[in-house]
């Protein structure tokens, strides 16, 4: 059984989340997490998925407020061993619920081209042309909540 949780910035779970994001998202691209980035994340919403059996963090994401109505989904990562089991879907659904509860009405995100289909299944629509950032190609995806 899995459960979704809110993760407090600076907590032990947050450290686990940073490690998971590194393993799933940054390491494959040859990027490093800079400690100086941590302080910027204090005001963001951090969400995780826990496997109840061993209390392990198997997925996570963060949401960055942009203005009163818009929040940006970032750094969505599911541990490779658990991908394709519905963890990503449940995490995004929980994140959308939490964003709505917090008063936001629009969620945006920048998706790498190979995961556009995943976000479309969750009701996101592509907006505008694809673009490049740091050598990686993205599409802007938007969902009203």
Ligand X SMILES: CC(C)(COP(=O)(O)OP(=O)(O)OC[C@H]1O[C@@H](n2cnc3c(N)ncnc32)[C@H](O)[C@@H]1OP(=O)(O)O)[C@@H](O)C(=O)NCCC(=O)NCCS
Q: Which among 113, 108, 114 has a CA at the least distance from the CA of 127?
A: 108
10 vs 86 by CB, closer to ligand X? 86
Least Cβ distance, residue 120 to ligand X (angstroms): 8
For ligand X, the binding residues in 66-125 under the rule CB under 6 A are 76-78, 83-89, 111-112, 114-115, 117-118, 121
Phi, psi (rounded to 5 degrees) for 58 = -110, -10
Phi, psi (rounded to 5 degrees) for 30 = 75, 25
53 vs 68 by CB, closer to ligand X? 53
| 126 contributes a contact to ligand X by CB under 6 A | no
68 vs 81 by CB, closer to ligand X? 81
Distance CA 15, CA 41 (A): 12
Q: Which among 10, 100, 107, 6 has a CA at the least distance from the CA of 50?
A: 6
13 vs 59 by CB, closer to ligand X? 59
Distance CA 130, CA 118 (A): 16
10 vs 56 by CB, closer to ligand X? 56
For ligand X, the binding residues in 5-34 under the rule CB under 6 A are 24-25
Largest CA distance in the chain: 43
**Mapping DSSP to helix (H, G, I), strand (E, B) and coil, where does residue 97 land?**
helix
CA 107 vs. chain centroid, Å, equals 12
Residues near ligand X (CB under 6 A), total: 19
**Contact residues for ligand X (CB under 6 A)?**
24-25, 76-78, 83-89, 111-112, 114-115, 117-118, 121
């Amino acid at each position: 059984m899995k459960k979704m949780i809110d993760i407090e910035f600076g907590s032990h779970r947050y450290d686990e989340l940073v490690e998971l994001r590194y393993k799933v998202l940054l390491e494959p691209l040859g990027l490093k997490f800079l400690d100086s980035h941590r302080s910027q994340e204090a005001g963001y919403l951090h969400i995780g998925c826990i496997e109840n059996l061993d209390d392990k963090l198997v997925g996570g994401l963060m949401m960055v407020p942009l203005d009163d109505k818009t929040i940006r989904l970032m750094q969505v990562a599911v541990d490779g061993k658990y991908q394709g089991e519905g963890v990503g879907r449940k995490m995004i659904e929980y994140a959308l619920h939490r964003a709505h509860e917090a008063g936001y009405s629009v969620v945006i995100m920048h998706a790498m081209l190979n995961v556009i289909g995943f976000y479309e299944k969750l009701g996101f629509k592509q907006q505008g042309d694809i673009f490049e950032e740091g050598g990686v190609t993205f599409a802007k995806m938007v969902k009203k909540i």
